[in-house]
């Protein structure tokens, strides 16, 4: 499997992705907002974009669909619940489906509601594995639920799906928010040495060659995976004095999401 992470350099800080089969050169474009860069990258590598996949229905993930389809006649894939939200979907996907690229690349579809209720992620059981997670999981953060989402569903996605993936899974998010998310981690966990060291490392990173984290690292630096951390819970009591002394993980997650919305 060949991966190109494409930095759009736009106000929303989007990442687009191309995944290609090394044997056939067929490629899948994930959330190709910057269609010009996606097409140019495919051409430079000698690849043919034959499929587009939208992780969810928001315009900053679907905006390049029509331009790429016009030039490549690619098939458009999306969550089966997004057919009436994304124009021109050729195939609706559900949990457990497989997306095949060329001869050698197969991706597993995860139904991952939360950011929206028709959001999917793609898991690649390669060596090492990879997760293309749209706006569900960010480096050191989690997607918001403002536009058609639900934080309780996002909690279930994190705890019942993402946390159970292999620790060496590489994380490929839909946006580059790492520095700001690490600052939120340190606001909640001032003693998180791993987050502190990583913030110093990525503060001046070039998003064209962005840091790629793993699930194991996310469990060290991402508050939304660290729901039992004593420092985090102590700080949470400062913000929410009526919180039970030992809040359950879901309550911690929901309160963190509430704080992050205002932070």
Question: Is the four-CA dihedral 181, 174, 158, 1 of positive or negative sign?
Answer: negative
State yes or no: 119 annotated in a binding site.
no
The verdict on whether residue 58 carries a ligand-binding annotation is: yes
79 is in an annotated binding site: no
Element (H, E) at 109: strand 105-111
Give buried/exposed letters for 195-204 (b at 16+ CB in 10 A, else e): bbebbeebee
The DSSP 8-state label assigned to residue 223 in this structure reads G
146 is in an annotated binding site: no
Q: Which are the contacts of 134, defined by CB distance < 8 A and separation ≥ 6? A: 30, 31, 55, 56, 61, 112, 115, 119, 120, 121, 143, 173, 174
| Contact yes or no for 76/87 (Cβ under 8 A) | no
Give the number of other Cβ atoms within 10 Å of residue 43's Cβ.
11
> Which residues fall in the annotated binding site for Zn(2+)?
56, 58, 60-61, 115, 135, 175
Q: Point out the annotated binding site.
A: 56, 58, 60-61, 115, 135, 175
């Amino acid at each position: 499997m060949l991966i190109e992470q494409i930095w759009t350099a736009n106000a929303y800080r989007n990442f687009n992705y191309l995944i290609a089969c090394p044997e056939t050169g067929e490629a899948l474009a994930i959330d190709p907002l910057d269609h010009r860069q996606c097409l140019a990258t495919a051409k430079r590598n000698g690849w043919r974009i034959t499929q587009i996949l939208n992780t969810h229905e928001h315009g900053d993930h679907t905006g390049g669909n029509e331009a790429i389809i016009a030039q490549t006649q690619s098939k458009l894939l999306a969550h089966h619940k997004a057919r009436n939200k994304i124009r021109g979907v050729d195939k609706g996907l559900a949990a457990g489906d497989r997306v095949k690229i060329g001869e050698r690349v197969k991706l597993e579809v995860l139904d991952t509601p939360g950011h929206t209720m028709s959001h999917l992620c793609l898991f690649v059981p390669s060596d090492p594995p990879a997760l293309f997670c749209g706006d569900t999981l960010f480096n050191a953060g989690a997607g918001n639920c403002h536009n058609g989402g639900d934080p309780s569903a996002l909690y279930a996605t994190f705890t019942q799906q993402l946390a159970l993936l292999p620790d060496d899974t590489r994380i490929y998010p839909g946006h580059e928010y790492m520095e700001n998310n690490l600052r939120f981690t340190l606001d909640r966990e001032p003693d998180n040495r791993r987050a502190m060291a990583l913030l110093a490392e990525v503060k001046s990173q070039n998003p064209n060659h962005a840091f790629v984290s793993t699930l194991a690292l996310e469990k060290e630096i991402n508050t939304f995976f660290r729901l039992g951390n004593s420092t985090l819970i102590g700080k949470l009591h400062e913000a929410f004095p009526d919180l039970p002394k030992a809040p359950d993980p879901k309550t911690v997650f929901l309160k963190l999401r509430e704080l992050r919305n205002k932070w």
